[in-house]
Homo-oligomer: A and B are copies of this chain.
Amino acid sequence: MAKLIDVAKLAGVSASTVSRVAAGSEKISKETTQRVLEAMKELNYHPNAIAKSLANKMTTKIIGLLFPADSSAVLHNQFFIDVLVGISNCAQEYGYYIMNAYEKEDNNYSAIQKMNKSGWVDGIILTTVRENDENLRYVRTRGIAHSIIGTPHIKSSALWVDNDNKEVMYRLTQKMIKKGYKRIAFISGSMEYIYNENRLAGYRKALRESKIRYDKKVIKETDGTFEGGSRAMKGLNEGMSIDCVITTDDVIAFGAIHSMKKMGKLYPITGFNNTPMCEYSSPKLTSVDICAEQLGYNACMMLIDKLEKNNKKNVKLHKVDTVIVERESTK
């Protein structure tokens, strides 16, 4: 690999001159510049980025992206895919690279440690936060630049983006009520996740507003899987009088539909996340588009902004809109 000094020798100048030409300085005469450029071409010179960054105390322009589970689990989840798409787009736009890291269950927050200690990343995006999140604490206590997808429990000065889960579920429920439904079942994923809690809250708010009694019997908490949805629906079908179903996840909804078809009774139903399958299923599923791509994009942009402006004028775009996409399943 040819280096700076080789080019300098060939062009008959000093290393500094070559460096300046490479940097595009106007202090160098046209003739010299020309000669240096030719030497570069002849030797097929490519600057060594590592040496460059060291000399510049430069940053790597690499952003670390920490996922909350192993690669298989994460990448088979449409939400994270969309987030990744958004982040990738933003990064590409601003000339950054993305380096993925996946957290394994066993060794808690070692992925983030490795990523940080390796020294390659300028900042880190966290894609999930739990209560008392170790990763979040890690980056906070070390002053590592970061942004978060999700709502941190302690807001402080962190950069984060999220949907308004309560609000959209409120609107969705309201919509179903307006259509004339009164016994609206609610099948959720685990309530350990704050977003499911919020969604339930939105549902309750809509009921309250329309003076419909909140009935625990038609509220089912599941593990968020197809089978979970299927089972929950079976439970609801047994003796419960309902006229419509709201779920917190498309997959749950598909499970429920599966169950309903078997029972021969198809209630109107809604999903959540607006996965591609909504289009292919029968009936096509009404769902909520949480614009995960936008979440990713914003999180990335906020971080880049922070890295480059060094905190001067932080972009803060906390809330990302949601869109209710109506399809056959509620018509």
Contacts and interface: CB of A to CB of B under 8 A. Distances in A.
Contact of A98 (B44, B53, B89, B100): B100
Contacts of A54: 50-51, 54
A85 B71 contact: yes
B81 A97 contact: no
B84 A97 contact: no
Contacts of A226: 280
A49 interface: yes
A282 interface: yes
Interface residue range, chain A: 35 or more
Secondary structure type dominating chain A contacts: helix
Interface string A82-105: 101100110010000111111000
Nearest to A117: B46
Contacts of A293: 72
- How many identical chains are in the complex? 2
Contacts of A195: none
A119 interface: yes
Interface in A105-152: 115-120, 142
A281 interface: yes
Contacts of A98: 99-100
7 contacts: A50-B50, A50-B54, A72-B89, A76-B81, A97-B100, A98-B99, A100-B100
Given A71-B89, A71-B92, A75-B84, 18 more contacts: A46-B119, A47-B119, A49-B117, A49-B118, A50-B54, A62-B120, A70-B89, A71-B84, A71-B85, A72-B293, A88-B100, A97-B99, A97-B118, A97-B120, A120-B120, A261-B282, A277-B280, A280-B281
